[in-house]
Structure 1
């Protein structure tokens, strides 16, 4: 469920949708401040696995910019269109401004395009922090890490879905999954486009995880580490530990990662891949980022030293589980 930042504007509702939950529209003027953001909808050349294409972006970024506010703040977002007029699927007039109130909905959300498959490139995190003086119901993390999963298509996603609608067949699958817009080293010529997170031993990190993939549920795991789930869809939950997390498309999940007490002399894959129980086609590839430990005893950690460290990979569940037919059909 979503909310338009300008309820009276169908144009804005067509372009942006805040996922998962409706923001409570009850500002508290004695506590709130106004935070302003500028969104320029523009074409941008972007290169991912050996392929460069022009795609619709916000502020030329893939993923788009991060919105950060505190519970009760007022958001003022100015959206300006810089794409050609014949790109009819960007339903917004130049210079329109939109505002909403983010009172009563702290947590991790995200904005995305809401017209066909434009959302494959038009999306970004929304992070609403608790009010000042209101702590988390868990130990304060050392650092917060927005982590957004997405997809990369070499072809134009709009053309892909339009062809599928015309033929009645399934749409072509994506060419890669991404973590924070980067496909990672398991795809061709993508080692330099890898999300890397440097962490310190004995610290707690809060991962704000968002699945912005179009249709795929994703398994996520960090090799040799345990995740503690503390929040799902911007709602606190009773914390529980897991080695592998399943996150649905459009879902957000906050997890705590407590790093090892001492430098492990190793690096670790942070990997995600899809899961499906049906017969349909889907991208069965795996996206990976790298968790790197900082060594306090080494003032300079060269890239050569880091590359020599062993790299551990998580054991993710299989991509697909085909369910048996109902018992009453097996006799046919």
Structure 2
């Protein structure tokens, strides 16, 4: 009997514990919030609450999110940012890429295994709705991390920008002939854990894990804690060699985990300082508060002084260069890429006078059929990029290709680029963090990557899923195509995605067809949204190479017209129309009762009132 019991015990101990199922039921509705104390506004809530719940799972768990769209007037979805979705590409949540939008009154279930660890977040990926509050942290706990026994408690900290208007109300003014330069909408304020002026209560001589997530729509922020250093142990879900730092630059969608050891005494509180990267802002009004103070609270009864220091004024603080981090697993450089994608960021106008964003000459335009569903219905033609349309900028790659992305930036602003379904190696970036990183465009000449003249590649490049490409600089990224699926690569500044700054990778399409099954409720979401779910990018199911009727970007401005020229022409035409109208009104008026201006100032004053339509002009 005893030997038998011993055998059973050995069998139980040798069998891995069954991962648990973690279920969240989300009823997505509008609620009212006022996180900065300046204005009530509609926000996207879950189960009648905002801020939204932090999703927490353990590595290996099955995550199930049942989402009902109760918004009433807006379609939606959920993208689980940083989740590889290996084998579950249909759960990635990007509308018109891997699923149809979920219409009001409809439901969808996301169900996938979380075989990774680290700090992530979730957000809407439909019609630019996450600036309306539909975003929050997603944490994957790992009791086997190399630093698991080094800290006593953890904090999750989200950084975000905040607008007082709905994104749908901002868009018409942003994407407008009156904003030809594409100046991004300026946030009204910035939040720390969806509020301001909060405290993290700590004990002396104790080590904590801080998980930092930038869930903003636009702006990067600097983060530091007065008189404290910390140790970086994770970026974007990838463990790093422990590396000391005192200041982080956290771009939109990036994440860091750091170990923070508190001081021996609790005689004062220390400012947690966040500073907005003001180089991203075209206009800074006097009432815009760019520096914010929260507190590392040692003593609740002690004072909590404001920190008014800026990064530029601090001689002993410089942002840590994430391109110098070494992955803890020491994964070596991916050699000899089999596919090279060379694209340049360009911001320009099209013939409707509005500002668009391009990778080379393509401004991403969503297809009529989600790209994944085109893969599933294209048969052997799924390997032909033509099927996916001319304006999704699709690159088809084979299974296990080593893909190199050379991303040159011809723009004067920086861009945080994110790849779904993968982390990539950061092989090269120019210029590095330092005095030239954010102001390099002042030189006026973009510096494209030269494969014959570059710095030495690191032996163990850092890996992450979101990287900042500097103004007029470049990044070189590499990843292994080991995850069959449709993955979008895009700038995570939501306004730039609205302008079309994205492209698509279709990875091993025939393997997708073989291994993937799209659930019935996902197809039902297409029916409810009146979105086609078969055929090519144009919805053609008969001739998959016929793209007649596909969605496409507006036309190019004819040769000879510059951006300045077309804007000048538009305003000239408007002035002419207004002038003709004035003549007509003058001719029809009763001249005997018309008031004659008494001074030249009155004449000038009438002229001034006619030119205040451009909300975004400096």
- Under a length normalisation based on structure 1, what TM-score does the superposition of the two structures give? 0.75
Q: Quickly say closer, same or farther: Cα 1:208–1:279, change in 2 above 3 A.
A: closer
For residues 192-232 of structure 1, give each alpha carbon's deviation from its aligned partner in whole angstroms, at most 9, with x where no partner exists.
Answer: xx221110000011111100111222100111111211100
Name the structure 2 match of 1:70: 58
Name the structure 1 match of 2:173: 163
In the alignment, structure 1 residue 122 sits paired with structure 2 residue 124: no
Residues 161 and 219 in structure 2, CA contact (< 8 A), matched pair in contact too: no
In the alignment, structure 1 residue 174 sits paired with structure 2 residue 179: no
TM-superposed CA distance for 1:70, in Å, is 1.0
For residues 301-330 of structure 1, give each alpha carbon's deviation from its aligned partner in whole angstroms, at most 9, with x where no partner exists.
Answer: 5xxx33xx36263744239954432489xx
TM-superposed CA distance for 1:136, in Å, is 3.2
Q: How many residues align?
A: 275
Tell me, in whole angstroms, the C-alpha distance in 1 between the residues paired with 2:244 and 2:205. 17
Residues 291 and 310 in structure 2, CA contact (< 8 A), matched pair in contact too: no
The alignment's C-alpha RMSD in Å is 2.7
Tell me, in whole angstroms, the C-alpha distance in 2 between the residues paired with 1:83 and 1:139. 43
Residues 220 and 316 in structure 1, CA contact (< 8 A), matched pair in contact too: no
For residues 90-132 of structure 1, give each alpha carbon's deviation from its aligned partner in whole angstroms, at most 9, with x where no partner exists.
Answer: 73253322211101x11011101112431121111111112x5
The counterpart of 1:36, out of the listed 5, 11, 23, is 23
Tell me, in whole angstroms, the C-alpha distance in 2 between the residues paired with 1:115 and 1:176. 24
In the alignment, structure 1 residue 111 sits paired with structure 2 residue 139: no
In the alignment, structure 1 residue 145 sits paired with structure 2 residue 155: yes
Residues 32 and 72 in structure 1, CA contact (< 8 A), matched pair in contact too: yes
Residues 220 and 244 in structure 1, CA contact (< 8 A), matched pair in contact too: yes
The secondary structure found in structure 1 opposite 2:168 is helix
The counterpart of 2:305, out of the listed 295, 308, 311, is 311
The secondary structure found in structure 2 opposite 1:219 is strand
Residues 223 and 315 in structure 1, CA contact (< 8 A), matched pair in contact too: no
For residues 276-302 of structure 1, give each alpha carbon's deviation from its aligned partner in whole angstroms, at most 9, with x where no partner exists.
Answer: 5567347761232111104xxxxxx5x
Residues 219 and 316 in structure 1, CA contact (< 8 A), matched pair in contact too: no
Tell me, in whole angstroms, the C-alpha distance in 2 between the residues paired with 1:239 and 1:245. 15
Structure 2: runs of 5+ lacking an equivalent: 1-14, 78-100, 314-434, 447-618
TM-superposed CA distance for 1:245, in Å, is 0.8
For residues 252-294 of structure 1, give each alpha carbon's deviation from its aligned partner in whole angstroms, at most 9, with x where no partner exists.
Answer: 100111100111x222221212225567347761232111104
Residues 117 and 157 in structure 1, CA contact (< 8 A), matched pair in contact too: yes
TM-superposed CA distance for 1:53, in Å, is 1.2
- The structure richer in strand per residue is 1
The secondary structure found in structure 1 opposite 2:53 is coil
Name the structure 1 match of 2:88: none
The secondary structure found in structure 2 opposite 1:159 is helix
Tell me, in whole angstroms, the C-alpha distance in 2 between the residues paired with 1:159 and 1:327. 36
Residues 198 and 291 in structure 1, CA contact (< 8 A), matched pair in contact too: yes
- The structure richer in helix per residue is 2
Tell me, in whole angstroms, the C-alpha distance in 2 between the residues paired with 1:314 and 1:199. 23
Q: Which has the larger radius of gyration?
A: 2
Structure 1: runs of 5+ lacking an equivalent: 1-27, 185-193, 295-300
Q: Quickly say closer, same or farther: Cα 1:214–1:29, change in 2 above 3 A.
A: farther
Name the structure 2 match of 1:325: 443
Tell me, in whole angstroms, the C-alpha distance in 2 between the residues paired with 1:181 and 1:30. 37
Residues 38 and 77 in structure 1, CA contact (< 8 A), matched pair in contact too: yes
Q: Quickly say closer, same or farther: Cα 1:233–1:92, change in 2 above 3 A.
A: same
Tell me, in whole angstroms, the C-alpha distance in 1 between the residues paired with 2:41 and 2:283. 24
The counterpart of 2:273, out of the listed 271, 274, 282, is 271
Residues 36 and 77 in structure 1, CA contact (< 8 A), matched pair in contact too: yes
Residues 79 and 96 in structure 1, CA contact (< 8 A), matched pair in contact too: yes
Q: Quickly say closer, same or farther: Cα 1:278–1:173, change in 2 above 3 A.
A: closer
Residues 268 and 313 in structure 1, CA contact (< 8 A), matched pair in contact too: no
